[in-house]
Structures are given as C-alpha cells and as structure tokens.
Structure 1
Amino acid sequence: MRIRPVLQNDFEDLHKLVCQVHSLHVENRPDVYADIDLMIGYDFDSLLCDDNAKAFVAEDNGRCVGVCSITILPPPKSPLLKSRTVAHIEKLCVDANYRKQGIGNKLLQEAEIWAKEKGADSLELIVWAFNRDALTFYKNAGMKERSFVMEQKL
C-alpha cells in the first residue's frame, strides 16, 4: 500500500470510489442528492492543475483503493471573521473492501502535511449526521465538532 498524488490515469478508479460515497448520500438523503453519474459532476481536472487543490490516492497493487481531495479556501471577506487559511477536505473515501485497515488515516495525514505546507491554519470538512462510520473515523483521527447545521423540513 502506498500513498501518492493523483495522476490523470486514475480517473476510472477514483470515479468508482466517489460513486460509492455518492450512493450512500443518495440513499440517505434523496431529498438533497441527485442520483446522477458523477463522471460529469466530479471536477477531476482541478485536482491535477489547481495550485490550491490536491488529491492523494492509496494504491494497492496498481489499483486506487482510497482517495482524499483537499482545497485551500479563500479567506473570509466578512469584517466579523478573522482572516485565516482553511484547508477543506472535499472527499475522503476508501473502497468498502479496504476499510478499517488504516488507509483513511494515511490519506488524512498526507492531506494534513500538504495543508501545513500551504500555510493552512486548520483542516476542516463536512460530514453528514447519518454517516456514523465517518463521524467515528474523524473523531478517532483527532477532529473535533465545530458547528452544527440544523434543519426542519417544511
């Protein structure tokens, strides 16, 4: 198992991984997520050429079995908020057959190293409340809850 930056020829493997996560989201929140093919919606090219975006893959015998994509967000423009540099995890996915082997932690560590190199003050992400496995994973990785998004369906 090795962690490396994403390459152009990783697209098919990454598409399959991202679809696993998207299917979970569609299944649990069909009111929010459209059941579409992410080949169109997933912005793969920006991971290869944007200086403020990066993706890492976990590779096992030539196959991508995990991915973590991260973006440096622009500082807030509000005078109420302090200017800070936030590294936002866009996606972190490990193939269902490879979970609970430390791959997610290795990907998260690589993202953290890159974020520090970019001068980020914090590493942040959004996780859905229904995704208990992800919540447990991120808490075990040392992440803390910062805020809650509440909703009431009308």
Structure 2
Amino acid sequence: MDFFVDAAELLGVPKSVAAIYGVVFASPHPLSFAEIQGRLDLSKGSVSQGLRLLREIGALKEVSSLTDRASLFEPDMEIRKIISHFVEHRVRKQLDTGRDRLVALSAQVPTGTPAGKILRERLKHLQGTHEKARALLPVAKTFLNLGR
C-alpha cells in the first residue's frame, strides 16, 4: 500500500484513493465496500469517492459473487490505465492552463526596458520548454498504448 501512496503523492492523487487501490491490490480476493472501509478506517464518503474515481479510470473492477450480494472490488492489473488517465487529464489540463498563463504573462512584460528584455528572453525560454512538454504528450500516450 505504501508503494501506491508514494506514487499518488507524485501524481497528485489523494492518499485515500491510493490507499484504497493498495488495499484492493494486496488482497488475494475481491473486497467489499465495508471491508475496504474497515481496513483503512476511512469515512464512508472517502471510500465511496475513492471507489468511484478508481472505477472511472479503470483501476478497479466491480465483480459479483454467488455468496455475497454486496459489490466486490478487485484491481484491474492494467496499471497503465491509471497512468494514461493521469497523463490525459492532469498533464494535458496543466499544459493547457500553463499555455494560457504564459500568454497572459507575456502581455504583462514591459517593452522597451532592459528588465523587460531580460524577462522576455526568460519567458521565451519557458515557452519553448512548455511546447516541448506539449509535444511529448502524444508520445507518452502512444507509449502507454503499446502493450494493448
């Protein structure tokens, strides 16, 4: 579970979501909502939101049991789905927001002054780095889809 919590911190995912995934991942059998909540000592709301998010991104599968009417959850072993979702939604959003911020910042840099000239050069460098990051996004998505 610690592995997933550490990875979540890197990806900006709530620790509770990572803990839920970690508990389900480490279990040799599918777990119910109540079992997950009991093992993690999280509120019903946190478990509910975490399970919903993990199902939406394809990290967990809901399975049924002949002996248990409750929904049971097991990990989808395609961890790249989680990474792909992160890349598509978090990174793309950040890059789009960053582009807009750089444009707004560029409009605020004074012209005709030595300080403005230095700031424009720095901003130009930052914009170039930003565009390189944007260019890597399709490569990352392609890489994540290779194993399908």
With normalisation by structure 2, the TM-score equals 0.23
- Structure (1 or 2) with the larger CA radius of gyration: 2
Which structure exhibits the higher relative contact order, with contacts defined as CA atoms closer than 8 Å and separated by 6 or more residues?
1
With normalisation by structure 1, the TM-score equals 0.23
Of Structure 1 and Structure 2, the greater helix share is in: 2
Of Structure 1 and Structure 2, the greater strand share is in: 1
